[in-house]
Chain A
Amino acid sequence: MPISHDHKTANALEIQGVGRRFGGFWAVKDVSLSVRPGERRAVLGPNGAGKTTLFNVLTGDLVASAGTIRMDGADVTQTPMHKRIKGGLRRTYQHAHLFDGLTIRETLFLAVSGVAGGWQRFLPLKPNDDAIGKAENLAGMAGLSSDLDREVANLSHGQRRQLEIGMALAETPKMLLLDEPAAGLSPSERPRLAELLLSLPKDITIVLIEHDMDIALRTSDSVSVLHNGRLLAEGSPENIMSNEAVHNVYMGGAHGH
């Protein structure tokens, strides 16, 4: 794809006036933000603030009702989701929906060959296939090595979340959108997740929705706060923690943390 811009100066993500409407209701309204390459950005906000909807628009799960989305300088507002993924974008879902009839190995294999190509082959796989090796590595990163042949339908909630992350890490993404990856994890699993996030290559841009403040603030260098679909505040974790408007929103009882 010939892209006529300078990679050095382009933001990893640059959105302007982005909105998404359901009927007459704007779940996300007039949001503009930019994320530098390699930046770790947390997105906070009470339930129903529009965080997941914003992700859906960024990935192409939903089309934007307004605004423009640029990734690495290229306008992707109208680009179909699978092409954005091929371009280096990955995401996890808040509510894991996975391929229940496949095994962990098969799922991760598809995640690799979806991006790297090769899913179109119709001859049975050889066990020494390149993509299978990569899938097994991903399983290792996600802590699923011992269950490679387990059917996804039989996984525990925590394992499903881990698999979501393993899938999103296939073929080293440029930008990773994580939607509450710690939700439903046990207190003992949470630090492992934080470790994993911190251990990812520094040039991966990460946008993280997370209600667990500890994880969110430990792994991020900047924070955006959404409220009622709009951007309420933006800044360093310290700034946000002492921001009065943010406190009001969170103390308003909309959220339990």
Chain B
Amino acid sequence: MKSALFILPFALVPFFANDFWLVQIFGRALILGVIALSLTFLAAYLGVVSFAQATMAGVSGYTVAYFGPNSVDVGRELPFYVVLPLAIIMATLSGVIIGLIARRSQGIYAIMITLAVGVAFFYFTRQNYTYFNGWTGFSGIRAPEIAGTNLRDPLPFYLLIISVAMLCLMLVNGFIKSPLGLTIQAVRDAPKRVLAIGIPTTPVIVSAYAIAGFIAGSGGILNVWYQERISSFSVGLGPIVDILVIAVIGGLKHPIGAFIGALAFVLLDTFAVDFIDRERFNTLIGLVLLAIIMGAPDGLHGLAKSWLARFKKRVAENQV
């Protein structure tokens, strides 16, 4: 539970930040953080690096687009209180399907197989016009108005984002201490041994992916409201890699790494263009990634943790 407190400082942002910082920087960082949390969750507790987060987020995003207000003439509108649970269920189901496909794969094979699923989904959305409107996708997607509060307004939207981020972190922190959460970690540590205590591993792995789908799906709804559009490019290689980069920069060992990485990524993504041109951004991100992998394999979270430990040690020494 303690680490959910990490999100609290984000709650202070509305007191001093303008709408740009509120939504484009901190809001966007928290949204990407939720989607990356899905990856970090699988990496930290199931021990599998998955490339399908943008896909699962896309499934809920497309559900919201298809069944919600949009400016292309595809889909049919349902009330938001039907659409939102439906979007989450679809994303969770996509997690189940990906889990069933990837359940026997680990390491590089899990990466390849989830990447293959992601790329297949990307091509499918490009070619299917009935449900995905091809490569143009959907635009004019609007967040609903609930009880007189318009979720398109910066402050309510930001408060929603921060609540979702907080809830997802608390979900992960609570879940990993539940029997199923412990079993998932047991599968990470010694899958054969899990069988030897009477537990079949497939349902364990699939449920981990289902939770990853649930989390990514929550982020996917926020993301489609933030972007106000979704198309095959939203589930293409670019976003797939972005999520991975965020998770790795932040650190794969701990859930809050996802949010640290997302904030770093959004700051770079937003302000690096002031120093270098757009095309060079990928080079910059690549260099940052390289520096992290070589200098701090546990990401910024790991780095901060070891600095803190060193600092505490020094304070303790000075007191003696």
Contacts and interface: CB of A to CB of B under 8 A. Distances in A.
A32 B193 CA distance: 27
Contacts of B203: 120
Nearest to B203: A120
B13 interface: no
A100 B187 CA distance: 11
B57 to A, nearest CB: 22
A118 B181 CA distance: 12
Interface string B14-28: 000000000000000
B190 A99 contact: yes
Given A85-B197, A110-B197, A124-B174, A119 B192 contact: no
Interface stretch (A40-48, A101-109, A228-236, A238-246): A101-109
Interface residues of A, number: 35
A225 to B, nearest CB: 26
Contact of B198 (A82, A121, A124, A125): A82
Taking residues whose C-beta sits less than 8 angstroms from the other chain, chain B's interface range is: 20 to 34
A85 B196 contact: yes
A91 interface: yes
A229 to B, nearest CB: 22
Contacts of B188: 101
Contacts of A93: 193, 196
A124 B189 CA distance: 21
A118 B186 contact: no
B130 interface: no
Nearest to A87: B198
Given A82-B200, A85-B195, A167-B197, A101 B185 contact: yes
A93 B193 CA distance: 9
Contacts of B178: 121-125
Residue in B178, B196, B207 with the greatest tally of chain A CB atoms within 10 Å: B196
B238 interface: no
Given A82-B199, A85-B197, A114-B198, A97 B179 contact: no
Interface string B229-268: 0000000000000000000000000000000000000000
A230 to B, nearest CB: 26
Given A97-B192, A102-B182, A110-B186, A119 B177 contact: no
B180 interface: yes
B133 interface: no
B175 interface: yes
Nearest to B180: A122
B53 interface: no
B70 interface: no
Contacts of A111: 197
Contact of B197 (A97, A114, A124): A114
Interface string B180-219: 1111011011101111111110010001000000000000
Nearest to B211: A122
Contacts of A97: 190, 192-193
A61 interface: yes
Interface in A50-73: 59-61
A113 B179 contact: yes
Contacts, number: 91
B134 to A, nearest CB: 39
A207 interface: no
A82 B204 CA distance: 13
Contact of A80 (B175, B181, B193, B195): B195
B182 A110 contact: yes
Interface in B160-183: 174-175, 177-183
Contact of A59 (B175, B180, B196): B196
Contacts of B185: 99, 101-102
Contacts of B179: 109-110, 113, 118-122, 125
A81 B189 contact: no
A115 interface: yes
A91 B189 contact: no
Nearest to A61: B192
Contacts of A61: 192, 195-196
A102 B199 CA distance: 16
A124 B171 CA distance: 10
Contacts of A115: 197-198
A10 interface: no
A226 interface: no
A113 B195 CA distance: 12
Given A99-B189, A100-B189, A102-B185, A122 B196 contact: no
A121 B180 contact: yes
Interface of B: 174-175, 177-183, 185-186, 188-190, 192-200, 203, 207
16 contacts: A93-B193, A98-B189, A101-B185, A101-B188, A102-B182, A102-B186, A102-B189, A107-B186, A110-B197, A114-B199, A115-B198, A119-B199, A120-B203, A121-B180, A123-B178, A124-B178
